[in-house]
Structure 1
Amino acid sequence: MHVTVLGATGGIGRATTLELAARGHAVTAVSRSITPAHVPSDVRALAADLTDPVAARAACAGSDVVVMAASLPYAAWANHLQPMVTTALDAAAAADARFVMVDNLYGYGTPDTPITDASPEVGTTRKAAVRRDLGRSLLAAHAAGHARVTIGRFSDYYGVHGQNSLVNMLGVDRVLAGKRPQAFIDADQPHTFAYLPDAARAVATLVERPEADGRSWILPAAEPRTQRAILTLVCEAAGRPARIGRITPGMLWVAGLVDTQLREAREQVAQFDRPYVALGRDFEATFGPLRTTPHEVAVAETVAGRRVARSSGAPLAA
């Protein structure tokens, strides 16, 4: 099977590229700035601007499945995310390829009970509306026969390649730089964190199983942990004392006055000031249990991999 991964230098894009290649698929890894150094030798690297319809169609030509793992900074979601995804969807349709969209859980908002596939998408923030409308448009395209669409959704993630994730930015990379790790808003609320290789195995399952088409799936992850528990594991793996700080809502508000990304992150407070748990029950009932990595192992692997990355400065190709 020939699979094209769009956004292949991002966290889940890179992890999915590696997983698909390990399963023996022919993989083309696409992003604006990718080079062969970013991928294993058996993966084709292709630089392309996914906002350009001609470039997107060329990137997807000959594919059996297109994985859309590319995203944009928060501030660009409202005006630019839907057009970019639509361009990718049209490119997949032109290639007669299935379209597997990698998505998050924002559309569900912050319910008082665990998020499941049966949960209504009732999020009230601007970002929730963007993601909800995006998912609905993709499934409408599937229902209309324009393309064959599957959506895989997962919660906050971490991993060697997830340098822009909350756990990596506020935990792993700060600790490896000799700084104190920081919890976001509340250190002691249970939260679902997905390890990127686990999420990539779930995405690869959707790639290989065309019966997944026509709906969204919450991807399974290891059991929920608090940020304090995860950051304590980070400190233990790095050989540092577990002295954990906290970014408070007030600190976030002040920082957002001068930092656009932090200003946009104000909408995410409600995902961290209360329990935020997601359950991939439908996925496992349909495709079987997904092997997930215990957080103790996953965090240790992340710290070790990020330490190598920091010391070498080279792209992470494996």
Structure 2
Amino acid sequence: MNYIFGTGPLGMAVLRELLNRGQKVKVINRTGKADIPQGVEMIKGDARDRNFTKEICKDAEKIFHCAGLPYSDWSDHLPSIMDGLIEAAAFSGAKLIYADNLYAYGPVNVDYHEDLSYKPIGAKTKVRAQVAENLLNSHQQGKIKAVIGRGPDFFGPRALVATLGSRVIGNLLLGKKAEAIGNIDLPHTHIFIEDFARGLVTLSENDGSLGQVWHIPAAPTVSTRELIEMVGDEIGKKPTYRVATSQIVNVLGLFDKNMREFKEMMYMFNKPFIVSHAKFAKAFPFQVTEHREAIRKTVDWFRKYIGNM
């Protein structure tokens, strides 16, 4: 039995991938509510509650950690969520697959690869490094079997708050300007959410992946502007832009909590952000979704979403 903690866009993409492979899945979130397919069991619960996670996951074979929180809650709650899921995996003997981002590395001047040291520059990069180290230490100590799959900025169905989400694709569909961040002419790796999910499931099915960090493959890196222009091509309209520079983000942060929290991450948008997945590509057969096909699927989902609003 597969257990997915978190029903955000990535958790739901993992759910779809597992169902496509004919596997049984249960999903858990704090509200007990989500738009899930018929026949999938929805469970209400808090991953921070170790007694709950141990009891609910006692028959688990795989536990996917896709739980997300607002930036402002990371320092207080991400460590306890990881602790709860580590306890569940230790109790059940399940593999624990952690869907991570690349924040722990901090800013670098090379392509991002798995052998980089962690160099946090603030609270959010620090806590991501902390929980990843906790997970791998638990594996190395023999307490659990774990693997980390990392992806850069993702986009795709349900990813409303992604950098290529509502403020870009949604706005363009509504005839508004695309709202982007940083220097959009620099190369910036983005991953299609379905590829991210498929990569996580691939890691879960290969014991040789355990105890390691893996960067999930993405289509070749292009600039953010090039991706937005592809969105425009799909929609049939030339994009216009409203771009938030670091200075604008700093000002907006005086009034907007989310922007205030985001300032720490601006380094990713002010210099080339290129992610290597050579390690994964060498180890596992994997076909990425080309950008235009990924954008076509994403725009199609956004059209339906906006039409139902």
What interval of TM-score do these two structures reach, taking the shorter chain for normalisation? Answer: over 0.9
Q: Which position in structure 2 is the counterpart of 1:12?
A: 10
1:302 matches 2:301 = no
Write the deviation string for residues 207-261 of structure 1: whole angstroms up to 9, x where unpaired: 1112211111111111112111111112222233221221111211111112211
Q: Which position in structure 2 is the counterpart of 1:173?
A: 170
For 2:211 and 2:130, the matched residues in 1 are separated by: 16
Alpha-carbon shift at residue 65 of structure 1 (Å): 0.5
For 1:61 and 1:52, the matched residues in 2 are separated by: 14
Alpha-carbon shift at residue 93 of structure 1 (Å): 1.6
1:24 matches 2:22 = yes
2:121–2:264 Cα contact (<8 Å) kept:
no
Write the deviation string for residues 14-64 of structure 1: whole angstroms up to 9, x where unpaired: 1011001101111112212344x6222242222222222233233322110
Unaligned runs of 5+ in 2: none
For 1:312 and 1:59, the matched residues in 2 are separated by: 35
TM-score under structure 2 length normalisation:
0.95
1:292 matches 2:281 = no
Q: Of 184, 188, 191, which residue of structure 1 is paired with 2:185?
A: 188
Please tell me the residue identity of whatever aligns with 1:296.
R
Q: Which position in structure 1 is the counterpart of 2:107?
A: 110
Please tell me the residue identity of whatever aligns with 1:301.
K
- The secondary structure found in structure 1 opposite 2:165 is helix
* Aligned pairs (5 A) from 1:252-263: 252-263=249-260
Q: Which position in structure 2 is the counterpart of 1:163?
A: 160
Alpha-carbon shift at residue 172 of structure 1 (Å): 1.0
Q: Which position in structure 2 is the counterpart of 1:82?
A: 79
For 1:295 and 1:140, the matched residues in 2 are separated by: 36
2:172–2:239 Cα contact (<8 Å) kept:
no
Please tell me the residue identity of whatever aligns with 1:309.
Y
For 1:303 and 1:55, the matched residues in 2 are separated by: 38
For 1:54 and 1:222, the matched residues in 2 are separated by: 41
Q: Which position in structure 2 is the counterpart of 1:271?
A: 268
Q: Which position in structure 2 is the counterpart of 1:57?
A: 54
1:231–1:244 Cα contact (<8 Å) kept:
no
Q: Which position in structure 1 is the counterpart of 2:69?
A: 72
TM-score under structure 1 length normalisation:
0.93
For 2:32 and 2:19, the matched residues in 1 are separated by: 17
Q: Of 78, 97, 103, which residue of structure 2 is paired with 1:100?
A: 97
Which moves more between the two structures, 199-208 or 250-259?
250-259
Q: Which position in structure 2 is the counterpart of 1:209?
A: 206
For 2:52 and 2:234, the matched residues in 1 are separated by: 43
1:237–1:299 Cα contact (<8 Å) kept:
yes
For 1:51 and 1:173, the matched residues in 2 are separated by: 34
1:233–1:300 Cα contact (<8 Å) kept:
no
Unaligned runs of 5+ in 1: 314-318
Paired residues, number: 309
Alpha-carbon shift at residue 151 of structure 1 (Å): 0.7
1:4–1:59 Cα contact (<8 Å) kept:
no
Structure 1 moving runs of 4+ over 3 Å: none
For 2:100 and 2:140, the matched residues in 1 are separated by: 19
Q: Which position in structure 2 is the counterpart of 1:137?
A: 134
Q: Which position in structure 2 is the counterpart of 1:148?
A: 145
For 1:136 and 1:12, the matched residues in 2 are separated by: 22
For 1:205 and 1:243, the matched residues in 2 are separated by: 38
